[in-house]
C-alpha cells in the first residue's frame, strides 16, 4: 500500500462522503452488509459511487486503461466479428453495456462503416451520467459522421436484434464473497469498526442459495474463500431472454470454473485499481478506488444456456483478435516505420502478449442465431474447458 499515491484533499473529501453514506446504510441494517451490497454502494450509489460520482476513471488521469482506449485497432478487429453477427440479425443493432469513454463505440462505428456494415442503431446502456456526457463528447470527436446512430438507454430493451457487446463489464458487477471455514459456510461482509475508525471485514452464516452455489463450485478440502456472482449470471440470463436474433460477446478477465475455483486460488480474485496500480484491499478509499472480481466464464455460459443461448466459442483475447485479423488491421495503419504504425504496435503487443492482456482476458460468445461466421474462434476454441 505504501506505493499507492495518496488522494488529494478534494478526492479525500469525496471518499469521506462515501464512507458516511455506506456507514449509515450499515448502521440502518443491523451493523453488517454483504460485500456485494458494499461493492454496489461504493461503485454505483447515485452521485457518490466510483462510476457515478464524476471522477475520471479511464485513461492516464484515471485508474485503468481498457483495450479500446489503447488503440483503435482493437475495434477494427472486433468489427469483423460484429459484422458477422449483424449479417444474420434482421434488426442489425448493437447494444453496448458499460461503454466507458465511448471510444469503442466511435471506433467500432468507423470500422463497420469502412466494411459497409453499419448498424441501424448503436444503443449504449451505462448507469453513469458523467460517463454518458463523456461518451457524447468522444463520439462527436472520434465518429462525427455516425454519432447520430447512437442512443442511450436507461434499461435493457425488451427485445434485442443484433450484437450485444460487454467489454470489461461483468468484472465490475457486485459479487458475494463466500468462505468455508472448519466446515461452516459463511458470507464475508462489511461492518464499521470504531477502533480503527473505518470499515472492516466481518462474517455471518451464508444464506442457503449462496451455500448451494459455493458447495457446487468450490473444490473439496479445507478452508476456502472466493466469489460467487449471481447478479452477473442473472444479467447474462436476462440478455439471453431478450436477444431474439444475434449474439452476445463478453470480453473480460477471468477463467473457466476449474481454474477460477482452483484449490490454490483459495482467497478469491477481488482486487482494487487506483491510479494505474492494482491492490488487494477492496475496502480502501471507498468511491475513489475501483473494485473488480474476475469472471467465472463457466457460470456465464451456463446462465446463457438457461435462457436459450448456445456457446458459439470461448478463447483467449489474443487468439480472438488474431482470428479477427488484428495484425492486418495493424499493417493497414501504415508502413512499419511510420508514426501511425509504431503508435499502434505497442498497444497491440500488450493486447496479444500472454504476459499482459492476451491470455488473462477471454472472449465468450453466446448466440441465439445459426449461420454466424466466427472468425474470432478460428485459431483456437476452448469451449470444451468451460
> What gap in Å lies between CA 234 and CA 275, rounded to an integer?
31
Provide the pLDDT for residue 34.
98
- Tell me, yes or no, whether 102 lies in a domain: yes
The SS3 of residue 337 is coil
Provide the pLDDT for residue 58.
47
Provide the pLDDT for residue 59.
46
For the packed helices 73-86 and 339-352, what is the interaxial angle rounded to 10 degrees?
A: 70
- Tell me, yes or no, whether 361 lies in a domain: yes
> What gap in Å lies between CA 77 and CA 383, rounded to an integer?
21
Q: Which residues pair with 233 in a beta bridge?
A: none
- The total of structural domains in the chain comes to 1
Provide the pLDDT for residue 131.
86
| Alpha-carbon Rg for the chain in angstroms | 21
- Digits of tens for pLDDT over the chain (386 positions)? 447 888 999 999 999 999 999 999 999 999 999 999 999 999 999 889 998 876 555 444 445 578 999 999 999 999 999 999 999 999 999 999 999 999 999 999 999 999 999 999 999 998 788 889 999 999 999 999 999 999 999 999 999 999 999 999 999 999 999 999 999 999 999 999 998 899 999 999 999 999 999 999 999 989 999 999 999 999 999 999 999 999 999 999 999 999 999 999 999 999 998 887 889 999 999 999 999 999 999 999 999 999 999 999 999 999 999 999 999 999 999 999 999 999 999 999 999 999 999 999 999 999 999 999 999 999 999 999 99
- Tell me, yes or no, whether 279 lies in a domain: yes
> What gap in Å lies between CA 109 and CA 104, rounded to an integer?
8
Provide DSSP, 243-298: EEEEEEEEEEEEE-HHHHT-TT-TB---EEEETTEEES-TTSSTTTSEEE--EEHH
Provide the pLDDT for residue 66.
87
- Tell me, yes or no, whether 2 lies in a domain: no
Structural domain range at position 121:
9-385
- Tell me, yes or no, whether 3 lies in a domain: no
- Tell me, yes or no, whether 4 lies in a domain: no
- Tell me, yes or no, whether 1 lies in a domain: no
How buried is residue 87: exposed, middle or buried, by Cβ count under 10 Å (0-12/13-18/19+)? middle
CATH number at residue 366: 3.40.50.12710
Amino acid at each position: 500500500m505504501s506505493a499507492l499515491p495518496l488522494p488529494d484533499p478534494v478526492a479525500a473529501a469525496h471518499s469521506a462522503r462515501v464512507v458516511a453514506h455506506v456507514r449509515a446504510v450499515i448502521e440502518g441494517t443491523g451493523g453488517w452488509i454483504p460485500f456485494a451490497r458494499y461493492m454496489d454502494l461504493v461503485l454505483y450509489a447515485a452521485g457518490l459511487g466510483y462510476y457515478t460520482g464524476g471522477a475520471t476513471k479511464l485513461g492516464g488521469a484515471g485508474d485503468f486503461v481498457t483495450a479500446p482506449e489503447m488503440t483503435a485497432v482493437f475495434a477494427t478487429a472486433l468489427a469483423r466479428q460484429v459484422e458477422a453477427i449483424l449479417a444474420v440479425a434482421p434488426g442489425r443493432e448493437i447494444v453496448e453495456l458499460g461503454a466507458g469513454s465511448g471510444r469503442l463505440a466511435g471506433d467500432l462505428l468507423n470500422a463497420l462503416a469502412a466494411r459497409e456494415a453499419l448498424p441501424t442503431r448503436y444503443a449504449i446502456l451505462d448507469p453513469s451520467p458523467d460517463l454518458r456526457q463523456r461518451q457524447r463528447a468522444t463520439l462527436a470527436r472520434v465518429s462525427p459522421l455516425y454519432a447520430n446512430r447512437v442512443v442511450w438507454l436507461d434499461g435493457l430493451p425488451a427485445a434485442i436484434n443484433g450484437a450485444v457487446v460487454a467489454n470489461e463489464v461483468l468484472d465490475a458487477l457486485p459479487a458475494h464473497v463466500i468462505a468455508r471455514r472448519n466446515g461452516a459456510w459463511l458470507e464475508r461482509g462489511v461492518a464499521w469498526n470504531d477502533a480503527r475508525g473505518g470499515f472492516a471485514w466481518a462474517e455471518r452464516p451464508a444464506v442457503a442459495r449462496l451455500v448451494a452455489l459455493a458447495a457446487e463450485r468450490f473444490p473439496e478440502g479445507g478452508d476456502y474463500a472466493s466469489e460467487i456472482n449471481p447478479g452477473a449470471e442473472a444479467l447474462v440470463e436476462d440478455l439471453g431472454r431478450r436477444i431474439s436474433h444475434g449474439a452476445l460477446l463478453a470480453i473480460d478477465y477471468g477463467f473457466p470454473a476449474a481454474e477460477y475455483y482452483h484449490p490454490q486460488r483459495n482467497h478469491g480474485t477481488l482486487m482494487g485499481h487506483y491510479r494505474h496500480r492494482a491492490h488487494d484491499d477492496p475496502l480502501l478509499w471507498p468511491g475513489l478506488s475501483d473494485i473488480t472480481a474476475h469472471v467465472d466464464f463457466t457460470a456465464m455460459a451456463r446462465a446463457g444456456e438457461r435462457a436459450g443461448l448456445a456457446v458459439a466459442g470461448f478463447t483467449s483475447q489474443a487468439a480472438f483478435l488474431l482470428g479477427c485479423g488484428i495484425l492486418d488491421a495493424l499493417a493497414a495503419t501504415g508502413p512499419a516505420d511510420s508514426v501511425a504504425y509504431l503508435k499502434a504496435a505497442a498497444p497491440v503487443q500488450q493486447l496479444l502478449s500472454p504476459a499482459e492482456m492476451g491470455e488473462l482476458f477471454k472472449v465468450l460468445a453466446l448466440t441465439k442465431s445459426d449461420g454466424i461466421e466466427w472468425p474470432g474462434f478460428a485459431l483456437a476454441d476452448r469451449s470444451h474447458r468451460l
